[in-house]
């Protein structure tokens, strides 16, 4: 066993040196500098761990072999993650990354827990690989070049904030699941196989709500940070034309994401409560129109019922209080007349949607100028 562990550590030293050369030699935009510095610090940390493992192995002491084995596995796992995921934004950096990186930098900077947390973005479906101190965002290659869909990042940072408060957030969700169990419990119970089937189905629903609640929470974070632009970006990107966004068969409801129409219901309700009444009516009206046109009736097969609305809303409010995302101000939500270097990106993104809705034909030229202004004043 000892010779195998030693060979693995020697190989790791070579891997660390190779990855360091690649990361150090890659040309990157300024917005990625702190992220690259963090990667290099991680590699230095792993090198010290491997060198210590080799020194300990030379001692020939059997009683520390298990510790060396564990440390070696940790470095192997971390190096795979660095090579497969975290190094990619540096090794494949492009000028087109700057817009997303500038918004991420601002987004992290306004929250106390992510102020010193470098992050990066690569092409992919909207998502995040959350990680304390080094999250990695994924964003589609076309959408990352326009202002219109950047508000979707505000949903993804919700997953990172959840991670920072995981113990407290999981407790809130556990309390919610108990409430759901109570609310779904039949008024009268029978001692037969039907009761057992009901209990199994109820447990399946309760289990599903663990992941569903994280998505509802992240939607609420998106709306809190971005205001109207998040609701417009989410609705347009997800698209009310996809039939799967309105209905799923029961076996497909056991998913990490709730039915999109249900997410729209919660978002538009929250938007109205926040004062974004006109946008909420427009968005919900579009989804209702498509639902009528294709003959869809809302049916969540017991996974959601209106009786759950109050306890879900209360839990969402508690989760937002716990993580305290920066809230969109009334002037930012109003958009218009954004001044580079003075106003926040939130006002710019809301203004972008106003311009797009008012005059789609001239939007592209308008957007090019605003992006240049934003990037020239973001570093």
For 282-338, give the DSSP string: HHHHHHHHHHHHHT-----TTS--GGGHHHHHHHHHHHHHHH-PPPPPHHHHH--S-
Q: Do 165 and 207 belong together in one domain?
A: yes
Q: Do 125 and 260 belong together in one domain?
A: no
Residues 167, 134: Cα–Cα separation, whole Å: 20
Q: Quick count: other Cβ atoms within 10 Å of Cβ 55?
A: 10
Residues 244, 257: Cα–Cα separation, whole Å: 12
The residue among 145, 175, 208 that closes a domain is 145
Q: Do 179 and 116 belong together in one domain?
A: no
pTM: 0.91
Coil, strand or helix at 245: helix
Asked whether the beta carbons of 179 and 205 are under 8 A apart, the reply is no
Q: Do 141 and 155 belong together in one domain?
A: no
Q: Do 141 and 14 belong together in one domain?
A: yes
Structural domain range at position 354: 331-376
Q: Quick count: other Cβ atoms within 10 Å of Cβ 52?
A: 13
Residues 375, 379: Cα–Cα separation, whole Å: 7
Q: Do 233 and 303 belong together in one domain?
A: yes
Residues of the chain by 3-state class (helix, strand, coil), percent to 5: 70, 5, 25
The residue among 117, 145, 173 that closes a domain is 145
Q: Do 371 and 250 belong together in one domain?
A: no
Angle, in degrees to the nearest 10, between helices 260-274 and 277-294:
160
Asked whether the beta carbons of 245 and 261 are under 8 A apart, the reply is yes
Over the chain (379 residues), the average pLDDT of each successive run of 10 is 90 97 95 95 97 91 88 96 95 93 96 92 93 90 95 97 96 93 65 63 83 95 98 92 73 76 95 96 93 82 84 96 97 93 96 96 95 87
Q: Do 356 and 299 belong together in one domain?
A: no
Q: How many domains are contained in the chain?
A: 3
SS in 3 state form for 297-312? CCCCCCCCCHHHHHHH
Q: Do 218 and 248 belong together in one domain?
A: yes
Q: Do 345 and 290 belong together in one domain?
A: no
Q: Do 118 and 184 belong together in one domain?
A: no
The residue among 328, 345, 362 that closes a domain is 328
Q: Do 86 and 227 belong together in one domain?
A: no
């Amino acid at each position: 066993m000892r010779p195998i562990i030693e060979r693995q550590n020697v190989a790791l030293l070579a891997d660390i040196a190779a990855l360091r050369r690649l990361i150090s030699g890659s040309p990157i935009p300024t917005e990625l500098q702190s992220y690259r510095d963090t990667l290099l610090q991680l590699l230095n940390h792993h090198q010290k761990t491997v060198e210590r493992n080799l020194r300990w192995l030379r001692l020939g002491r059997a009683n520390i072999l298990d510790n060396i084995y564990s440390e070696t596995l940790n470095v192997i796992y971390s190096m795979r993650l660095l090579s497969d995921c975290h190094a990619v934004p540096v090794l494949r950096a492009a000028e087109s990354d700057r817009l997303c990186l500038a918004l991420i930098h601002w987004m992290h900077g306004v929250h106390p827990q992510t102020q010193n947390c470098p992050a990066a973005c690569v092409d992919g479906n909207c998502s995040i690989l959350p990680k304390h101190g080094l999250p990695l965002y994924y964003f589609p290659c076309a959408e990352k070049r326009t202002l219109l869909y950047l508000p979707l990042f505000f949903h993804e940072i919700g997953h990172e904030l959840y991670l920072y408060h995981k113990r407290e957030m999981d407790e809130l969700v556990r309390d919610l699941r108990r409430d759901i169990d109570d609310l779904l419990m039949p008024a009268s119970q029978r001692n037969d196989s039907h009761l057992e089937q009901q209990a199994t189905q109820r447990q399946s629903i309760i289990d599903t709500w663990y992941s569903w609640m994280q998505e509802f929470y992240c939607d609420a974070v998106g709306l809190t940070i971005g205001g109207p632009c998040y609701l417009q970006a989410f609705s347009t990107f997800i698209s009310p034309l996809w039939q799967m966004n309105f209905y799923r068969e029961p076996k497909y409801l056991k998913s990490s994401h709730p039915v999109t129409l249900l997410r729209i219901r919660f978002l538009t309700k929250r938007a109205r409560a926040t004062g974004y009444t006109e946008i909420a009516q427009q968005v919900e009206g579009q989804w209702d129109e498509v639902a009528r046109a294709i003959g869809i009736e809302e049916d969540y097969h017991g996974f959601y019922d209106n009786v759950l609305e109050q306890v879900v809303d209360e839990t969402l409010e508690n989760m937002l209080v716990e993580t305290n995302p920066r809230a969109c101000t009334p002037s930012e939500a109003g958009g218009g007349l954004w001044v580079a270097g003075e106003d926040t990106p939130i006002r710019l993104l809301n203004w972008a949607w106003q311009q797009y809705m008012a005059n789609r034909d001239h939007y592209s030229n308008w957007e090019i100028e605003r992006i240049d202004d934003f990037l020239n004043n973001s570093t």
